[in-house]
């Protein structure tokens, strides 16, 4: 395969899912509304200048990164609740399992949570990142037999080109086992205009590309949606002040991890009961159990 499949906003979630399941990655041209792109750029790009560069070949010594994006821009909420992205992620990640409780044989499935939020700006002279699978943080094994850990989006805040470090992707590599080594010769650079998105699975080999330009900054924004039975890679509970989380709609609060979901993952004790942590946010104006509204 020499190109990633390109879809647009006029395609359905089912079409996005079908390409993701087949290729492990898909480009959605014109993913962001122009106002959202403008808002993300004006909130994030000036702040990126203050970030230090990475200290190792993986983070990139000419690459600036910034996390905790929900504390820096409210527009990230529009991205994560985008119907094409969120519905595709839910479909892929919330695969049920069968279990017993006493006489009760029942199906249960994981919810989804935001595992990472990061702006990534690759500067001129940056070499390519090593090809990797992001689900390695969970020690995920392959083949996955259809159980994926992560569905990730990489948004172009600047144009992504083969020259400026557009994300390298190996289509079909989500099906490889853990023995096969990913080769640079198999990787395709993601070329897309600002406002477009690459959606890819945690099991797909990819990497930040080499920036061969003299003066172009390649700025991307990545969000990972992960199965909620896994630990979030970015520690949202410490990264985000509670008052900031409380200021978002309940759907975002739950996606950020202030939720115990159907499987009671992440409960907190309130009044002697294993309770849904969302109650701590609702109680912010009244008695707050075990949390301070400020950091």
Ligand X SMILES: O=C(O)CCC(=O)C(=O)O
Q: Which residues contribute to the site for ligand X (CB under 6 A)?
A: 120, 129, 134, 154, 167, 206-208, 220
CB 93, min distance to ligand X, A: 18
Q: What is the chain's alpha carbon radius of gyration, rounded to the nearest angstrom?
A: 19
State the number of binding residues for Fe ion (CB under 5 A).
Answer: 1
- Rounded distance, CA 137 to CA 204, Å? 13
Q: Which is nearer to ligand X, 37 or 120 (CB)?
A: 120
Closest approach, Cβ 206 to ligand X, in A, equals: 5
| Beta-bridge partner residues of 211 | 164
**261 contact choice in ligand X, Fe ion, none (CB below 5 to 8 Å, kind-dependent):** none
Nearer to ligand X, 3 or 56 (CB): 56
Of 19 and 207, the one with the shorter C-beta distance to ligand X is 207
Residue 134 interacting with Fe ion (CB under 5 A):
yes
Task: Look at residue 281 and give the partner it binds from Fe ion, ligand X, none, a contact being a CB closer than 5 to 8 Å depending on partner kind.
Answer: none
User: In this structure, is the dihedral angle defined by the CA atoms of residues 100, 104, 105 and 108, taken in order, positive or negative?
Assistant: negative
Distance CA 218, CA 59 (A): 14
Beta carbon nearer to ligand X, 208 or 277: 208
* Residue 208 binding result from ligand X, Fe ion, none, given CB thresholds of 5 to 8 Å by partner type: ligand X
Q: By C-alpha distance, which of 198, 192, 196 is closest to 164? A: 192
Min CB(215)–Fe ion separation in Å: 25
Whichever of 88 and 120 has its CB closer to ligand X, that residue is 120
Q: Strand runs (DSSP E) across 71-133, as ranges?
A: 97-101, 104-108, 112-122
Residues from 153 through 192 that contact Fe ion (CB under 5 A): none
Does position 135 bind Fe ion by CB under 5 A? no
When asked if residue 23 is in the footprint of Fe ion (CB under 5 A), the reply is no
The per-type count for the chain, helices as H runs and strands as E runs, is 8, 14
Phi, then psi, of 291 in degrees rounded to 5: -135, 150
Least distance in angstroms from the C-beta of 73 to ligand X = 18
| Cα distance between residue 232 and residue 245, in whole Å | 16
Which residues lie across from 53 on neighbouring strands? 64
- Residue 76 touches which member of Fe ion, ligand X, none, C-beta under 5-8 Å by kind: none
**Residue 277 binding partner per list ligand X, Fe ion, none, with a CB distance cut-off of 5 to 8 Å that depends on partner kind:** none
Q: Which residues partner with 104 through β-bridges? A: 101
Q: Of the two residues 165 and 277, which places its CB atom closer to ligand X in the complex? A: 165
Residue 227: CB partners within 8 Å, gap ≥ 6?
A: 93, 94, 110, 111, 112, 113, 148, 149, 150
Angstrom distance (rounded) from CA 15 to CA 7? 8
Q: Does 111 bind Fe ion (CB under 5 A)?
A: no
CB of 120 vs ligand X, minimal distance in Å: 4
Nearer to ligand X, 37 or 198 (CB): 198
* Of residues 167 and 259, the one with the C-beta less far from ligand X: 167
H helices present in the chain, as ranges: 13-23, 34-48, 75-80, 83-93, 236-239, 242-246, 250-255, 278-282
Q: How far is the CB of 56 from ligand X (least distance, A)?
A: 11
Binding site for Fe ion (CB under 5 A): 134
């Amino acid at each position: 395969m020499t190109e990633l499949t390109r879809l647009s906003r006029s395609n359905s979630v089912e079409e996005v899912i079908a390409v993701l399941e087949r290729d492990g990655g898909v480009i959605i041209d014109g993913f962001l509304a122009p106002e959202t792109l403008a808002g993300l750029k004006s909130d994030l790009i000036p702040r990126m200048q203050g970030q230090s560069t990475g200290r190792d070949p993986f983070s990139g010594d000419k690459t600036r990164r910034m996390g905790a994006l929900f504390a820096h821009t409210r527009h990230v909420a529009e991205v994560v609740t985008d119907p094409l992205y969120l519905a595709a992620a839910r479909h892929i990640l919330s695969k049920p399992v069968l279990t017993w409780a006493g006489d009760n044989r029942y199906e249960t499935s994981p919810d989804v949570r935001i595992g990472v939020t990061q702006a990534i700006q690759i500067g001129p002279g940056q070499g390519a990142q090593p090809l990797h699978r992001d689900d390695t943080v969970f020690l995920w094994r392959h083949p996955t037999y259809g159980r994926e850990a992560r569905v990730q989006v990489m948004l172009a805040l600047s144009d992504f080109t083969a020259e400026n470090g557009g994300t390298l992707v190996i289509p079909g590599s989500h099906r490889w086992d853990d023995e096969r080594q990913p080769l640079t010769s198999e990787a395709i650079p993601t070329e897309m205009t600002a406002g477009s998105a690459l959606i890819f699975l945690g099991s797909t080999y990819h990497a930040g590309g080499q920036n061969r330009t003299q003066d172009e900054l390649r700025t991307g924004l990545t969000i990972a949606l992960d199965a909620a039975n896994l630990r979030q890679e970015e520690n949202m509970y410490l990264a985000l002040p509670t008052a900031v989380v409380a200021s978002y709609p309940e759907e975002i609060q739950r996606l950020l991890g202030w939720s115990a979901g159907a499987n009671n993952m992440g409960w907190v004790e309130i009044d002697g009961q294993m309770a849904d942590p969302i109650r701590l946010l609702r109680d912010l104006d009244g008695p707050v159990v075990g949390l301070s509204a400020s950091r």
